[in-house]
Structure 1
Amino acid sequence: MDKYSGSWRQLLNRFWFIPAVCVVTAVVLAQAVVAVDRWLPEGLNSPWVVWVYAVGIDGSRAMLGAIGGSMLAVAATAFSITISVVATASSTYGPRLVRNFMADRGNQIVLGVLVSTFIYTLLVLRTIRSASDDLAQPFVPHLAVNLAVLFAVADVALVVYFIHHIADSVQVDTLVLGARKHLLEAIDRWHPKEPPEELDRTAAGRGGGGVITPGKVGYIVYVNFHRLRDLAVAEDVLVELVPRVGDHVLVKEPLFRVWPEHRAEELAQPLRRCVRLSDARSADQDVRFAEQQVVELAVRALSPSTNDPYTAVNAIQEVAAGIVSAVSRPLPGNTVVVDGVDRLRYGVVEVEEIVDMPFDQIRPHATGHVSVLLAVIDLAARIEVATVHPSVQRQVREHIDVLLDQFRDSAPHPRDLARVEHHARSRSAG
């Protein structure tokens, strides 16, 4: 499982974090470059000035003012464009994909650099002194002013990139590929090709145990399994995480069970700190939510208001990558065994659940679209060929039987029915 705390991942996904880092960097850079300018020899005839573009006091002030004002205006425009794209994506593709826009590194970096350029020019501008100022002798930070010009040129290129990036980010292909990436990452985390030696697969947990409640309401979005394992070993106890990642828990519902039972109270706070709850689910460790994002694209595309079967077919083809990876690997372990002793037990998402989701959620909306039905049949055939679990083969055959029965009940045109049935037979035979 993931060795790193989910707090850093959550912080990096905050829309404000990278812009805030850029602003702090701009403040430090402005002070540092101006300090270097004060240290260098003064005067326009100094040897070092030959290597930079020397601008007078009034020219420097006008240039910095123009750069700062224009960058702030461009940053405001870029922010408005981002909000508009987020609103469009939320209404078209689903609100759960909005988080992908907010966590997009390209958008964060562009806004951060534009705002930090404004901060940089503002701080450099305040250091310029003329002969009429009574505060100090005349001073123009030539190096800092020239650096501001370079930032302005770079910002123009960044704006061009932003326009391309924001236009590309709302394309269906980009959204589906991003959702598929999250699904594959979650599958690799929970269904590795080579499970760790200390991870075993056991039957349902024993009864009893000391109960530890979460103390608040929310979705389980991150669990530090390594910390839980180390804590269980150090305290010589067996810990069971009752809900799975992605489950919604209430204040008084069981979060952990601990054996021996009397150790539960003293371990309540350390164990709670290993679990992070949130008001919304996250695809970082939640296989079901990661898969749901891809499936939701297909379901929304088949809604009467959208009526886009081609997007649905694309989503079905992409979700196949994650499902095939899961069914072609060993069953996931659910118990950490250290020196022959069970130390940590938790629930996992079984391959049957991963296989069921696209069929159960897409099938009710697919009967009116032959192309989507053919894509679902192809999905079943891919799973049947790739799986190493005989139960999954039987499972997908049952799904195809249900799909064909539902399609026949919808009174399709005989040509469409013959086409779908022929495709099902040919793919099953292959």
Structure 2
Amino acid sequence: MNRWSVLVDNLRSQLWPLPALALLLALLLGVGLPRFDAAMNDSMPPGLTAWLFSGGPEAARTVLSAVASSLITVTSLTFSLTVVTLQLASSQYSPRVLRTFAADPFVHVTLSLLLGTFVYSLTVLRTVRASLDDQDAFVPQVSVTVGFVLGVASVGMLVGFLAHLARQIRVESILRQVHADTEATMRHVYGDERDNDGIPQVPPTPGGRTVSLCAGSSGFLTAVEGQPLLGAALETGAVVVLADHPGDFLIAGTPVAVAWAAEGGELDESAVTRLVDALNGALRTDSERTAAQDPEFGLRQIIDIAVRALSPGVNDPTTAVHALSHAAALLCEAAHYRLGSRLLHDDAGRVRVVLPRPDFAAMLDLVLTQPRRYGSDDPYVLARMFTLLREVAWTTRSPEHHRAVSGQLARLTDAMHRHSFDERERARLQELEQSVRQALAGHWPVTSA
């Protein structure tokens, strides 16, 4: 993903770009259409004139004034509802889902239409003239008609916005949107790197004295451009291994990568300087995590919702179960990709740059660690975590993935034994535990309801 893709991803989560563009277009339209009206004057086709505004200057001013004054009030209401929604999402679900709400295109289009119609109506209003001694009356019929149509469309958009907001604030809608965004990120980051492509991913080992390369700025690592690093590594005859992946927080002045001479020996000072410059140019940091190159961010959002639902103040295990279901689907999708570090090679096939990425074990640990800690005393939440392991175990045949599932199964079983359940609940949980082992052996078990 290049820097322009990262920029587009950042702009998507901002509320101002599309409304600002709409204001500019509305201003241009408000200046251009009255000139078109003046040029056409009385040469409008009769069939078209019948559909246009037919009132005088005072009526035109009344219509445009009513549209402008009402829409600025409606726009204020829309902004207020948006802010309240963001506050509710932050407190009820997770602060990290605010980016999902802010990137909602329906909100952007609504604000753009309302603000654009307001600016357009004011701009056209200045061109309406009454008949005086030194000037003729002028009513831009097309312009006023367009203002009327935009006003009606704005009312319809407001009704649609309210319905959309009521739907989007539901936790199921939030989970579905985060799920879709995370799937898109996986497809973009991993592309055609399927786990069964047969390409070995063996990172290199240092062949000489290593040099630490430090970060130039602090913040969340949002994107890494591999090609500039590869070019610098080839130019200096070095091997570069990054220590952090998108989603990690970097501290300026601390090592973020190591490098060594590909042919042995040591890297000279000029080579190290070149590598540091290339590294700082290849790393993108921001004050918040983004999904641009960070598939774990979507899983983090989903698990945050699950953990918040399990808190004593909320006490909503059903939402936690639903969140774990979405996490299970994403893990099953991730299992089909070749996870782990991305290796960049030179023309001779030697590894020159290693870009770390989370492996399957890390993703599975992210999904289960906190729900296991905070929800293992609830039999339904615990049952869903066992079921998640069974689904993942069935989906993948990778020995590495199965080892990760087995490790999580042992930890989940231990958590089950630390809590008190009645006889029926414990029997159900033990049945699910055995079903995971059967799925690891390649058999889909039939469990009781």
Instruction: With the length of structure 2 as denominator, give the TM-score of the two structures.
Output: 0.87
Structure 2 unaligned segments of length 5 or more: list them. 262-266, 439-444
Matched, 1:243 2:252: no
CA shift, 1:337, in A, is 1.1
Q: Go from structure 1 to structure 2 and tell me whether the alpha carbon gap of 1:406 and 1:212 turns closer, same or farther (over 3 Å shift).
A: closer
1:333 positional shift = 4.7
Write the distance in 1 (CA, Å) between the matches of 2:293 and 2:53. Answer: 53
Sequence identity percentage: 26
Equivalent-residue separation in structure 2 for 1:47 and 1:388 (angstroms): 70
- Which residue number corresponds to residue 286 of structure 1? 294
Single out whichever of 326-335 and 32-41 deviates more from structure 2. 326-335
Q: How far is 1:388 from its partner?
A: 2.7
Spell out, residue by residue over 1:37-69, the C-alpha distance to the aligned partner (whole angstroms, 9 max, x if none).
Answer: 121124899886345232210000000000011
Deviations 1:337-377 (A, max 9, x none): 13124343211111110111222121112222111111111
Structure-2 residue corresponding to 1:402: 411
Equivalent residue of 1:118, what SS? helix
Structure 1 residues 91-170: aligned runs within 5 Å: 91-132=91-132, 136-170=135-169
Cα distance change of structure 1 residues 317 and 267 upon mapping to structure 2, 3 Å threshold: same
Q: Return closer, same or farther for 1:18/1:45 CA change in 2, 3 Å cut-off.
A: closer
**Equivalent position of 2:72 in the other structure:** 72
CA 45–331 in structure 1, closer or farther in 2 if over 3 Å, else same: closer
1:252 partner SS: coil
Compared CA separation, residues 385 and 45, structure 1 to 2 (3 A): closer
Q: CA deviation at 1:423?
A: 2.5
Q: Give 1:137 shift.
A: 3.7
Secondary structure at 1:273 match in 2: helix
The alpha-carbon distance between structure 1 residues 34 and 225, as it changes in their structure 2 partners (threshold 3 A), is farther
Equivalent residue number for residue 33 of structure 1: 33
Does the CA-based 8 Å contact 2:342-2:357 persist in structure 1? yes
CA contact (8 A) 2:303 2:323 kept: yes
Aligned-residue offset at 1:195: 5.6
Structure 1 residues 138 and 115, CA, compared in 2 at 3 Å: closer, same or farther? Answer: same
2:53 and 2:141 in contact (8 A); partners too: yes
Selected match of 2:330 from 319, 322, 345: 322
Q: Is the 8 A contact 2:341 2:354 kept in 1?
A: no
User: What is the distance in 2 between the residues matched to 1:126 and 1:386?
Assistant: 66
Q: Is the 8 A contact 2:228 2:278 kept in 1?
A: no
8 Å Cα contact 1:200/1:336 also seen in 2: no
Q: Equivalent residue of 2:311, what SS? A: coil
> Does the residue aligned with 2:354 lie in a helix, a strand or coil?
strand
Q: Is the 8 A contact 2:117 2:150 kept in 1?
A: yes
Structure 1 segments unaligned to the other structure (5+ residues)? none
Assess, with a 3 A threshold, how the Cα gap between structure 1 residues 201 and 48 changes in structure 2: closer, same or farther.
same
Query: How many angstroms apart in 1 are the aligned matches of 2:112 and 2:17?
Result: 9
After superposition, the Cα gap between the structure-2 partners of 1:367 and 1:345, relative to the gap in structure 1 and judged at 3 Å, is closer
Q: SS where residue 5 of structure 1 aligns?
A: helix
The answer for the alignment partner of 1:263 in structure 2 is 271
Secondary structure of 1:220's match?
strand
C-alpha distance in 1, partners of 2:138/2:236? Answer: 65
- Aligned-partner Cα distance in 2 for 1:37–1:387: 67
Deviation at 1:267, TM superposition (A): 5.2
1:326-337 alignment runs, 5 A limit: 326-337=334-345
Work out the CA distance in 2 between the residues paired with 1:79 and 1:415: 51
Q: Distance in 2 between matches of 1:226 and 1:28?
A: 42
Q: Once the 2 structures are TM-superposed, how far is the Cα of residue 275 of structure 1 from its aligned partner?
A: 2.0
Distance 2:9 2:45 in 1: 51
Q: Which amino acid aligns with 2:94?
A: G
CA contact under 8 A between 1:335 and 1:345: conserved in structure 2?
yes
Picking from 307, 311, 324, the partner of 1:299 is 307
Query: RMSD in angstroms over aligned alpha carbons?
Result: 2.6
**Contact 1:408–1:417 (8 Å) recurs in 2:** no
**Does the 8 A contact of 1:336 with 1:343 survive in 2?**
yes
1:89 corresponding residue in structure 2:
89
The aligned amino acid for 1:388 is R
Whole-Å separation in 1 of the counterparts to 2:108 and 2:25: 15
TM-superposed CA distance for 1:177, in Å, is 0.9
Residue 255 of structure 2 aligns to a residue whose secondary structure is: coil
Which stretch of the first structure deviates more once superposed, 253-262 or 240-249?
253-262
Superposed displacement of residue 244, structure 1 = 1.3
Change (3 A) 1:298 1:346: same
Count of equivalent residues: 428
Shift of 1:332: 4.1
Find the aligned partners of 1:302 and 1:109 in 2 and give their Cα distance: 35
| Alignment partners' CA distance in 2, 1:82 and 1:406 | 41
TM-score (norm 1): 0.91
State yes or no: 1:355 paired with 2:354: no
Q: Which amino acid aligns with 2:437?
A: S
Cα deviation for residue 86 of structure 1 reads 0.9
Contact 1:11 1:17 (8 Å CA) reproduced:
yes
Cα distance change of structure 1 residues 133 and 290 upon mapping to structure 2, 3 Å threshold: farther
Aligned-pair CA distance for 1:145: 0.4
Whether the aligned pair in 2 keeps the contact of 1:238 and 1:344 (CA below 8 Å) is yes
In the alignment, residue 183 of structure 1 is paired with which amino acid? Answer: T
What residue in structure 1 maps to residue 174 of structure 2?
175
Identify which of 388, 396, 409 aligns with 1:379.
388
2: CA distance, partners of 1:103 / 1:390: 39
Contact 1:219 1:277 in 2 (8 A): yes
Give yes or no for contact 2:179–2:326 (8 Å, CA) kept in 1.
Answer: yes
Contact 1:331 1:351 in 2 (8 A): yes
